[in-house]
Structure 1
Amino acid sequence: MPSSSLSLTTIGFDADDTLWQNEQFFRQTEKQFIALLAEHADGTDIEARLLEAEKRNLALYGFGIKGFTLSMIETALEIGGGRVPSAVIGEILAAGRDMLSHPIEILPQVRETLEQLAGAYRLVLITKGDLFDQERKLAQSGLADLFEAVEIVSDKNAATYARIFARHGEGPERSMMVGNSLKSDIVPAIEAGSWGVYVPHDLTWVLEHVEEPTQAPRFRRLERLGQLTDLIERL
């Protein structure tokens, strides 16, 4: 690596939709949910009311499949007005269980990129969501040995990154966060003082959408993760 890159010591990676597929399974389950309630409301209304339930419940249930499943049940009861059969609730629960056991699908160029960087930098997995589910996905991914540390947090903000990069590196100024969510991965990491490298995914949850911080000196955007090594060498 060129001497200009030597100040970077720690690289954090998001997990869902950065290292492996995630959002597509939520979208598929949401379509099933809408079909289950088709006789009670139209699809647009169901989708909107489910999103409102998810917003309300984030503070209670946090991020992840279990909270999503509870929000679907709540929405079904609201829309059905008590007329939703117990069998429908059972199908919603089954859909949630299916999501929790779905095989991991690693995204392209992920393993190769991590293997290139491991050893030269401290790699830290920084993900939010349900503890058991995130641990399951990491174990099944076969990528765990490439990370020196794993942080599963309830939310991601500037204080989160400042704390993690101080614990596992020399602080945010010598660290980088890589992820697909501008709201969770990039903007707060830059606010903490680190580099933020945005790698868009075709599907990103609407609640994770914010404007790209294009004027921030430490913001970078890549079209694919495989470009990360070259980017670091140019810093």
Structure 2
Amino acid sequence: VIKGVGTTGSGRELIGELIGADIIKDEITAHKTGASFISKKYFNEDVDTIFEIGGQDSKFISLDNGVVIDFHMNEACSAGTGSFLHEQAEKLGIQIEGEFSERALSSKTPINLGERCTVFIEKDLNNYQQKGAKLNDLIAGLSYSIVHNYLNRIVRNRRIGRIIYFQGGTAYNDSVAAAFSKILGKRIIVPPHNGVMGAVGMALVAKENESAGKSTTFRGYDIKSINYSLREFA
């Protein structure tokens, strides 16, 4: 029995309206709710910093006793997202799952690719390849590059706390988590359900909404039967 439904993410308003969501919240709220719940339930501690790198965007969230006190999201650069690593892995002929992190972690001398935008990093990659750079060093360089990009463009001068959660699909890549730890000199925690933490948080928000005695407005799974129309606008 479904007692409540919530939506989050960039398409939350549209999807929420389509399926009859009970509650709609932004990604920051969803991620902090999920992370705070996991940190208390599994580790009995309060997460105070969230690094989130998804396939299309990145987020930084600073917490104090479960309350968001600062946050920032990426603006335009795709070089700080998971899709960038996936694209580069394909161009280098390696698997993003497993093989990427294994090769990166075995590198002794990662290539310095900086934290510039995609087109410049790709140019540098090609130049290093032509000069005979080792594949593992190039891959390790990409891991460091996405971390430098995130820290310099998303975090900037914001406070980084003691209990840091690394979330989003990119957190499945151990070499990126290791690069964060190496650069910051801090422990980086990849929590359970890191790839769907926003969904976990949204489920908790929906549960709280249902506990307040509100009946669900969810229309059901058969979305294709819902009548809707499209129109263009300038």
* Larger helix fraction of residues: 1
Structure 2 length as normaliser, TM-score? 0.31
